[in-house]
Amino acid sequence: MQKILVARGIFPDVIERLKQYFDVEWNDGDALPADELKRRLADKDGALTAGDPIDAATLAAAPRLRVVANMAVGYNNFEMAAFDAHNVLGTNTQDVLNETTADFGWALMMATARRIAESEHWLRAGEWKKWSFDSFLGTDLYGATLGVIGMGRIGQALARRAKGFNMQVLYHNRSRVAPEIEADLNAQYVSKEDLLRRADHVVLVLPYTAQSHHTIGAAELAQMKPSATLTNIARGGIVDDAALAVALRERRIAAAGLDVFEGEPAVHPDLLTVPNIVLTPHIASATEATRRAMANLAADNLIAGLGEGPRAGQPPSPINPQVLGKARS
């Protein structure tokens, strides 16, 4: 039997499925430190990860490893050039989380615009003594302008929800999406600068790469309207968190909602002290149904990628399908 490592806690019934095909080693605890992960992968044929970093050194130290299935759509934890060089297949869990993640992006944007977390903290602190006409004035979503940076599948799902809010949709992306998608979403392609200047609510839904590092820093925050909100459901590192904390404190933008952070689970201490922010612990895809779908898709990828099961050799969501069928190098 081929050997696999499941590097994170996951639904036990998914482990049972994997056991039908593999000799399974399961780390049902916290993320493994890099050295420990490397050591445990040394004799494995496959692995199931959830954001665990897999770099060139790890692959070099694991000569049998042929498939790593990430339980996430984002795969910035994989050094893909090394995967390609070693003919190791990487897979992700695209599509199954689109609507759940878009729902959460919407919820976070609304909570941010309408100051839900900030006012709740104030109420819990016993500060609510009387009603006042100017308590917690927020910014409207209905009829406002939405700016989506990153118009992939999740960005499109998010933009589709804007129809019900009668919003104008601006978007920026590495490339323009097909005209029929633009028409369906009633979305207008604009430069990043234009989007930042015009949008009332900016939402980040782009992958993290060297190019997208600090897509939003001090200069970009300065271009936004003082009444605007910023929501990040993509990856930490796309926003310069230190610069954001300054902009929020100085009210250069109205508010921000963050589900992801540079260096998470650590959170920049300045973000914890500004009031006009909603902070959540990377839960955009966290519904029971979606996390189950992600776990099962990651398992399907691993089973098929390692040549087992009904789809042997044809994993459903390969990142680098060109290595399929090639000998490990």
Determine the Cα angle at 111 with ends 222 and 99, to 5°.
100
Catalytic residues: 235, 264, 282
CA distance 329 to 322: 14
Residues of 124-147 as b/e, b for ≥16 C-beta within 10 angstroms? eeeeeeeeeeeeeebbebeebbbb
Q: For residue 319, state whether it binds ligand 8YV (rule: CB under 6 A).
A: no
- The answer to whether 323 and 92 have CB atoms below 8 angstroms apart is no
3-class secondary structure, 132? coil
- Out of 98, 229, 285, 317, the only residue in the binding site for ligand 8YV (CB under 6 A) is 285
Considering only residues 95-114, where is the footprint of ligand 8YV by CB under 6 A?
Answer: 97
Binding to ligand 8YV by CB under 6 A, coded x per residue (else -) over 31-70, reads -------------------xx-------------------
CA distance 295 to 307: 19
Q: For residue 71, state whether it binds ligand 8YV (rule: CB under 6 A).
A: yes
- Residue 56, phi then psi, degrees to nearest 5: -60, -40
With tokens 């615009």, the residue in question is 113
- Give the pairing of strands 187-189 and 168-172: parallel
Nearer to ligand 8YV by C-beta: 253 or 295? 295
Q: For residue 155, state whether it binds ligand 8YV (rule: CB under 6 A).
A: no
Nearer to ligand 8YV by C-beta: 92 or 145? 92
Q: For residue 7, state whether it binds ligand 8YV (rule: CB under 6 A).
A: no
Nearer to ligand 8YV by C-beta: 51 or 138? 51
3-class secondary structure, 173? coil
Provide, rounded to whole angstroms, the least separation between the CB of residue 294 and ligand 8YV.
7
Nearer to ligand 8YV by C-beta: 194 or 264? 264
Q: For residue 154, state whether it binds ligand 8YV (rule: CB under 6 A).
A: no
Q: Which positions touch ligand 8YV (CB under 6 A)?
A: 50-51, 71-74, 97, 285
